Amino acid sequence: MFSENHKKTGCIEVVCGSMFSGKTEELIRRLKRAQFANQQIAIFKPAVDNRYSDVEVVSHDFHKITSNPISDPAAMLEVGPEIEVVGVDEAQFFDASLVDVCQTLANRGIRVIVAGLDTDYLGIPFGPMPQLMAVAEDVQKVHAICVKCGALANHSHRLSRSKDLVLLGEKDVYEPLCRECYNRARAEEGA
């Protein structure tokens, strides 16, 4: 049991990986454990991500938890002093200000759990994720299974010809591939 003089220590945890690797599932698992421990939580997701729900964070296997859709990471700074854990899903869709927001929350003594794609469909580090991984106390990289060969997959291969950086989709638009299968697919596309 903590004494009255115990000071809350904040931290940043990052869960990253490719599409279909279980990032959101792990975020939800950690948040539900915090709830079970009677910790007060707040959950945020980008307003642009409405694939399964406008107001819930939903994993590909349909586990879900209520969230606050926001467009600007600064909105997270409005959490009250009772909040002990903040969860952020699809962090790659936020701008670079997310890093400072997460740092500010952690410096307030809040545990910040962030989930997102570490690279985009071209294999390039995505949005604020590299900076978040650099300042985080804990980084967990999760992997999908390559749909071509069964190896660990760490790439999100886009099946569509769209060149838009942000293209929301599921298995109809993306597939998880290992390095070798990803490089082969990109070569066949002329990339």
Please identify every residue annotated as catalytic: 90
Q: Which residues are paired to 141 by β-bridges?
A: 16
Q: Are strands 64-66 and 56-58 parallel, antiparallel or unpaired?
A: antiparallel
133 to 40, 72, 108, 145, 154: CA distances (angstroms): 24, 20, 19, 23, 16
Task: Return the SS3 of 15.
Answer: strand
Distance, CA of 142 to CA of 152 (rounded, Å) = 9
